[in-house]
Each structure stands twice: as structure tokens, then as C-alpha cells.
Amino acid sequence: MNLKAYLSETIDIALVSLGFPKKLITVERPKNPDFGDYSCNIALTIAKEAKQKPIQLAEKIKKVLILNEDWVSQVSVTPPGFINFTATDNLYQSFVYDIISQKINYGKTELGKGISANVEFVSANPTGPLNVGHGRQAVLGDTIANILEWHGYDVKREYYYNDAGRQMRILSESVAARYFMEIGKITEFPEDGYRGEYIRDIAKNIIENHGNDLEKDDSIFLNVAEETIFQDIKNTLSFLDIHHDTFINEKSFYESGAIEKILEDLSSENLIYEKDNATWFKATSVGNEQDRVFIKSSGEPTYRLPDTAYHRNKFERKFDWIIDIFGADHVDTFPDVLAALKALNYDINKVKVCIHQFVTLIKDGEKVKMSTRRGDFVTLKDLTDQLNKDVVRYFFIMRSMNSHLNFDLDLAKDQSEKNPVFYLQYAYARICNTIRYAEKSKAIFNNKFDSSLLCHPSEIDLIKTLSQFSEMMKNVLDTLEPQNISTYLQTLATKYHKFYTDCRIVSSDHQLTNSRLNLILAVKFVLSSGLRILGISSPERM
RNA sequence: GCCCCGGUAGCUCAGCUGGAUAGAGCAACAGCCUUCUAAGCUGUGGGCCACAGGUUCGAAUCCUGUCCGGGGUACCA
């Protein structure tokens, strides 16, 4: 039963009967519970055209409303002209039956049925270990994928990497340099090389397995480095329970001719020109700020060209929805790719780009300074070595991606009540424990319960929160802002703990006990769904 | 210079597709365990929602400008 939709319709009918023109009706939940459960501002919005005072208009509308008394217990008008509705306890109580019957499917939709979505995230080049920023992106991307799956979308998690450009060449040179330094042939390390300790490890490994008489440009350096680093990346992601369905590399677009095809097609649209020995894309003619180089004077393409080929490839694979998760350092890169695709007549409305801001690590109350050059940056692996998966995932998802994230290592490490993850998990564990207790004490616990017994304010409040779950999940789909889930779960846990404190669940009153056990079972389903979408485990005991 | 993100309680942040009295956690202080897990609950204090204009019946939310912080502005990715 969707009360919101019901109220909209009912108000609509009332307006027609009063002779007002059709108008979009919005029904919202007021923040202040004194104003009931739902509230409508229609009288305020039409007051001007109707040339009447909003408050009188609201009264008029209220008078002609025909509402089902089983669902709405009270209608009131408050200044400046809101019409407020209070749902019956009965209506809320009925949610408990809904949840109990749908179990962990409660709140799921089929909005995405038959729709395919490609979610690209992490996409770090295999030149070194993942950093904490990648961690944020990894969790964000995986959670967004989970949200889509929840709504029935057919989701592919994708990882794209550049294995053809400058960076990989530098990687190869860095490993080769360490190799020759290890065997004493050279002493100089390249100025722009990767200095991390992992490069030395790879070099040592090559000496062990391939001897010490390799040539400087042997492909072994790159191959072993790429494989080793990729394995490391996958292990780190796997610790966070993140698994990509597809890995796509830049090279394949050269091999398939897709890169050339882009140039040809853009050329025929007159969007490619030569200047200063380089090949340019005329981004300005499709509304962007400046033209961009697609092929450098050295003959090497910039990342924009293969990226465009890659995104065209996503269109060619017939994805209905293409979601890119990028870090803030990429803000300037995608508009050109989108412009090129638009010029090639692709519907870029299908592409949704999610940009997340940076992550700062806080330790002992201070920012941890990180430098890739010095090689003393904190990697994602460092983080996962110290913290469990649930904590890492939660800390990365609990803030809006638009905000800078301060990752407080001390709070994350804290195994006490201060840690917000445990608050959620504790609610779940408490439920499990109570259910075990009920079973042990042979309490009656079946689905023939009387929900009208659940009338304590804490019970009604808890049920109201439960009833908002599907609305929240729908909103998260529209906005792709997963932090709303963690905010919601915090609220739900709070209401549960409050209820637990106020109401004895297993008691000598068998009817009430059964009803309350069903209520906490409903909470268990919703908590478990929410945690699962966030990729956080639901512990039976703590 | 230009572009993007942010500026909300002492700290970290929700709320931002306009609604009524701006929320949470942490920190501080005061309480609650012979009863299903106190990793919990209750209470107190704490705010010119950066600033200034504008739009509106109504602005933390939208628009403009200013200031502060972060990122970008490459023939790096």
C-alpha cells in the first residue's frame, strides 16, 4: 500500500471537484512529526492563480477530500496552508506482514528489468598498488552496482586499464632499472620512474626466475610487472569483496582497429585537424572549452582517443546505461570523450558520470601526508591489513561522494561503540540473540500474529522507519548517492535500540511476544538487506 | 585567470530535485544494567547553515557576487 500515491490521487480528485485545473501534486514527509506522516503544499502553490488565501483554500480542499478511514486517521490544516495527513496505526502495522512475507526481498523493485548497465570503476593502471582513493572508488562503484541489481538491472562491473601508453613504458623501464641496479650493472634510477619498494621486489623476482642476463628492452620486465601488480590489485579488491566481471584493456582497441575508426569517423564530421605536428579534436565546435590533442606529435595517442574508443565500445555492446566512476582528478577528461561520442551520434544521456572527491587519511588527529614520489604513500592494502572489510567499506560509503572524505584511522580501528559500523551490526546481532533466546525459551513464534498489538510509540516509530526503506532505495537509485543507505540504516538501528530498551520482547504475554518477535524479524530482514547492499556483513553474534 | 567540488554545533559530517521549530555521531557534563547482549538507552549544554544581495507565500537548499579550503586547467592518466 503506497499511501503517498493514494493521497496524491485523492487530492487530485478533490481539486477537480472544486473546478481547479490539473496540477502536479507533491506529497512529502514533514520533518516535524507533529504535522503527521504526510503533508501537501498544493494550497500554497495554487493560491495565487486561485486568488484565495492558502489557508482557506486548504480548508476547502480538506472538506471535499474523501479518504479511507482505514488508512488515514486524521487530516489537518496548518499555517501557512499545508494539509497534513496522519496514517492509522493499522496501516503501519500492516507493513510488518508485508515484510515478513517478502523477507529479504522486501523493497526490491523490477524497475531495471530487462535493462543492462555497465559500471566502470577503479580502472587503475597496473603501475603500482591501489591507493586509498581507489578504495573509495572501488566501494562506491561496487555499491552502486549493488543498488542497480537490487532494482533488477542486469549489471556488469567493469575494469578498464591502459596498457599501451607512456605509463606502462615507464613501468617497464623502472623494473629494468631496478633489475640492473640489483645485479650491479647501473647505479642511476630514471628521474620519472616508479620508486616504490614493489618495483624492487618484482626485479628481484625476475632475477630469480629469469636469470641476470636479460636485455634492457626485454618484454619480460613489463609482462612480469603487469601480472604481479594486477594480481596484487585483485587481491586487495577481493579482500573488500569486490570482483569485476570484465577487464578491458586499451591494447585491444588498437588491435581491433577501433582507434582508427574513431579518427576516421570524426574526420568525416570535420572534427579532426592537424596542427603543430599533432592531431586535434575540434571539441570547441561541439561546445567544449578548448580543442584537445588526440595524437601527440610523437605519434602516441593521448588517453582521450582510446577512452573514446572504449566508450563507443560500451555503446556497441548495447548497454542501456553506462556508469563511470571517476576521481576528482578526472573531472576534465570525460567532457571531451562525451563530446566526441555525441558527434558520432551516440545518445550520451545513457552515460552517467559519478565523480568522487579525494580521501585524506587522519591519524592521531592529523592529516597523513602522502607522496608517491617518495614512495611513502599509504596504500589501500595498508588499510585493509589493519582493518576489517566491513569497517573499510562503511567508512568509504558513509559520506557523500561530492565531499572530501576524511578517513579517521583511529576511529576506524576502534573496536568500541564509537565505531558507527558496530552500531548497525550490534542491532543485527541483538536481534539474532533475542530470536535464539525465544527459541530456547519455547516462545510461540509463527506468522499468525496480531500486528495491532504493536502500538507502543517506540514500536510505531520503528515500523514507520521500516516502511520508509523502499522509498529510500528508490531514491538511491535515482540519485546514485549510496550514503543515504548508511544514513537510513543508522536511523533504523537507533529506532531498534530504542524499541529494545523500551519494550520487553520475550515475555509471559504469548500473543504480544509473537507479534514482537515478528517485528524484530522484519527489522532483521531490512537491516540485512541494507547491509548486504553496502557489502557489509551481518554478524549473528558480537 | 578559467572550470569542478566543498564551506552546516568544538571535531567529522547528514540534510540541498525549495517547505513549517536545521539533525546525527564523536567530544563535555549528568543519569540508567538481580530482567532477551550496556558495542545499548535517557537527559543537559552547544548554530547569524562562510558572507552579501536576489528569486519566492516560503531559502541551509535555487540564482548572482565576494571570501576561504580541495581538485583540475599538459602533446601525463
Who's near A457: CB < 8 A, 6+ residues apart?
none
Rounded Cα distance, A249 and A313, in Å: 12
Question: Does the pLDDT value for residue A284 go beyond 70?
Answer: yes
Question: Does the pLDDT value for residue A500 go beyond 90?
Answer: yes
Bridge partners (DSSP) of residue A326 are A355
Q: What is the pLDDT of residue A452?
A: 94
Grid coordinates belonging to A230? 594486477
Q: What is the pLDDT of residue A370?
A: 63
Please report whether residue A180 resides in a domain. Answer: yes
Q: What ipTM did this prediction achieve?
A: 0.95
Q: Is the CB of A23 under 7 A from strand B?
A: no
Shared-domain flag, residues A448 and A510: yes
Q: Is the CB of A372 under 7 A from strand B?
A: no
Q: What is the CATH number of the domain that holds A63?
A: 3.30.1360.70
Q: What is the pLDDT of residue A186?
A: 86
Distance of A296 CA from B44 C1′ (whole Å): 66
Q: What is the pLDDT of residues A149-158, one digit of tens each?
A: 999 999 999 9
Q: Report pTM.
A: 0.94
Question: Does the pLDDT value for residue A208 go beyond 70?
Answer: yes
Grid coordinates belonging to A192? 620519472
Q: What is the pLDDT of residue A371?
A: 55
Q: Is the CB of A435 under 7 A from strand B?
A: no
Please report whether residue A203 resides in a domain. Answer: yes
Residue A385's CB is within 10 A of a number of other CB atoms, namely 10
Overall number of domains in chain A: 3
Closest CA to A528 of A496, A504, A500, A503: A496
Shared-domain flag, residues A61 and A98: no
Residues 91-130 of A with CB under 7 A from strand B: 125
Q: Is the CB of A300 under 7 A from strand B?
A: yes
Q: What is the pLDDT of residues A334-366, one digit of tens each?
A: 889 999 999 999 999 999 999 999 998 888 777
Shared-domain flag, residues A499 and A449: yes
Question: Does the pLDDT value for residue A221 go beyond 60?
Answer: yes
Q: Is the CB of A30 under 7 A from strand B?
A: yes
Question: Does the pLDDT value for residue A395 go beyond 90?
Answer: yes
Q: What is the pLDDT of residue A286?
A: 82
Q: What is the pLDDT of residue A1?
A: 61
Question: Does the pLDDT value for residue A418 go beyond 90?
Answer: no
Shared-domain flag, residues A189 and A81: no
Residue nearest to nucleotide B11 (CA to C1'): A365
Instruction: List all nucleotides in chain B with at least one atom under 7 A from a protein Cβ.
Output: 2-7, 12-17, 19-27, 35-42, 57-58, 69-77
DSSP A164: S
Shared-domain flag, residues A421 and A506: yes
Grid coordinates belonging to A278? 599533432
Shared-domain flag, residues A452 and A422: yes
Distance of A359 CA from B12 C1′ (whole Å): 13
Q: What is the pLDDT of residues A170-179, one digit of tens each?
A: 999 999 999 9
Contact (Cβ atoms closer than 8 angstroms) between residue A25 and residue A8: yes
Shared-domain flag, residues A454 and A493: yes
Q: Beta A351-356 vs A27-28: how paired, if at all? A: unpaired
Q: Which of A239, A256, A290 is the last residue of a domain?
A: A239
Shared-domain flag, residues A82 and A98: no
Distance of A404 CA from B6 C1′ (whole Å): 7
Please report whether residue A289 resides in a domain. Answer: no
Rounded Cα distance, A121 and A482, in Å: 15
Q: Is the CB of A446 under 7 A from strand B?
A: no
Shared-domain flag, residues A433 and A488: yes
User: Helix H segments across A25-115?
Assistant: 42-50, 54-64, 89-102
Distance of A93 CA from B25 C1′ (whole Å): 30
Average pLDDT score over chain A: 91
Q: What is the CATH number of the domain that holds A459?
A: 1.10.730.10
Grid coordinates belonging to A395? 567508512
Please report whether residue A255 resides in a domain. Answer: no
Rounded Cα distance, A184 and A355, in Å: 45
Rounded Cα distance, A220 and A201, in Å: 14
Question: What DSSP letter does each residue of A222-239 carry, written as one string?
Answer: HHHHHHHHHHHHHHHHHH
Please report whether residue A251 resides in a domain. Answer: no
Distance of A109 CA from B75 C1′ (whole Å): 48
List Cα–Cα distances, A306 to A149, A254, A349, A453, in angstroms.
Answer: 29, 8, 20, 63
Which nucleotide minimizes the distance between its C1' and the CA of A40? B19
Grid coordinates belonging to A382? 595498508
Q: What is the pLDDT of residue A377?
A: 61
Q: Is the CB of A170 under 7 A from strand B?
A: no
Q: Which of A56, A87, A118 is the last residue of a domain?
A: A87
Q: Which residue has the cell 591507493?
A: A131
Distance of A535 CA from B52 C1′ (whole Å): 45
Shared-domain flag, residues A524 and A449: yes
Please report whether residue A497 resides in a domain. Answer: yes
Q: What is the pLDDT of residues A239-273, one digit of tens each?
A: 999 999 999 999 999 999 999 999 999 999 999 99
Lowest-pLDDT range of A139-148, A201-210, A296-305, A388-397? A296-305
Shared-domain flag, residues A99 and A82: no
Shared-domain flag, residues A185 and A99: no
Q: Is the CB of A86 under 7 A from strand B?
A: no
Contact (Cβ atoms closer than 8 angstroms) between residue A344 and residue A312: yes
Please report whether residue A355 resides in a domain. Answer: no
Please report whether residue A538 resides in a domain. Answer: no
Q: Which domain holds residue A465?
A: 93-106+417-533
Q: Which of A52, A87, A122 is the last residue of a domain?
A: A87
Which nucleotide minimizes the distance between its C1' and the CA of A430? B37
Distance of A38 CA from B57 C1′ (whole Å): 20
Which nucleotide minimizes the distance between its C1' and the CA of A332? B72
